[in-house]
Chains A and B, each alone.
Chain A
């Protein structure tokens, strides 16, 4: 099973982002490298939510911003490992919309429930499969790495 390895600071940062944008959804990208058992993420990059028409229950990252994020990842010799977003006052479970709009096979999709403005549960789902036709979300353990003393 794939594991998402997240430094504590990155985990805290993506949850804080969801609290800051509440009651709207936040979104961003996770940069890192593939490791034997999944992804080692080293940074979260905040992105704007272009779905200003329905930001409380929809998110979208503009492709132009994604191009810049990927360029920065390459500059740091990192890859886009996945994405994160929040579900204001909804569980941290993927929705039909999340699944239909998920196209980054082999990447991590992290969802944080933000309940009444406070980050609650954070889950990760690995987008498994090899094509649009056989893709599926698999629950993905999050291994939070504490800073070294």
Chain B
């Protein structure tokens, strides 16, 4: 399968925007990716070994969090896995009447 690497993490995989992995599941694909590129691990996983909350994983067009088998979902050679850090923010909160 192909794992697409987001801009901030490309320096940990030799500057590539994609890495080819042979794996049976999403979890094993991530395990192989981080075994080959150990510096990626702390960016993808927290101290408990769980995927960090702000890291989104998309198997093709599906959010892995919402797949029935989640990270144990089976994958094939033609699948793509996108690693997408979240994007959010906003201006300081101002109570109604102070704006």
Contact = CB atoms under 8 A, between A and B. Distances in A.
A94 B90 CA distance: 8
B84 A74 contact: no
A145 B42 CA distance: 38
A27 B89 CA distance: 10
What band does the interface of chain A fall in when counting residues whose beta carbon is under 8 Å from B?
35 or more
B99 A89 contact: yes
Contact of A107 (B7, B42, B91, B92): B7
A94 B8 CA distance: 20
Given A63-B56, A63-B58, A70-B84, A103 B89 contact: no
User: Is chain B's binding surface mostly helix, strand, loop or mixed?
Assistant: mixed
B82 A95 contact: no
B88 A101 contact: yes
Interface string B62-97: 010000000000000000001011111111111000
B6 A104 contact: yes
A28 to B, nearest CB: 10
Contacts of B7: 79-81, 104, 106-107
Nearest to B42: A131
Interface of A: 25, 27, 29, 51, 54, 57-61, 63-64, 66-67, 70-71, 74, 79-81, 83, 85, 87-90, 94-99, 101-107, 109, 131-132
20 contacts: A29-B87, A51-B88, A57-B92, A63-B84, A67-B58, A70-B6, A74-B17, A80-B6, A83-B87, A87-B91, A88-B91, A97-B89, A98-B89, A98-B90, A99-B89, A103-B86, A104-B6, A104-B8, A105-B8, A107-B8
Given A74-B17, A107-B8, 6 more contacts: A67-B61, A87-B90, A97-B91, A101-B86, A101-B88, A104-B87
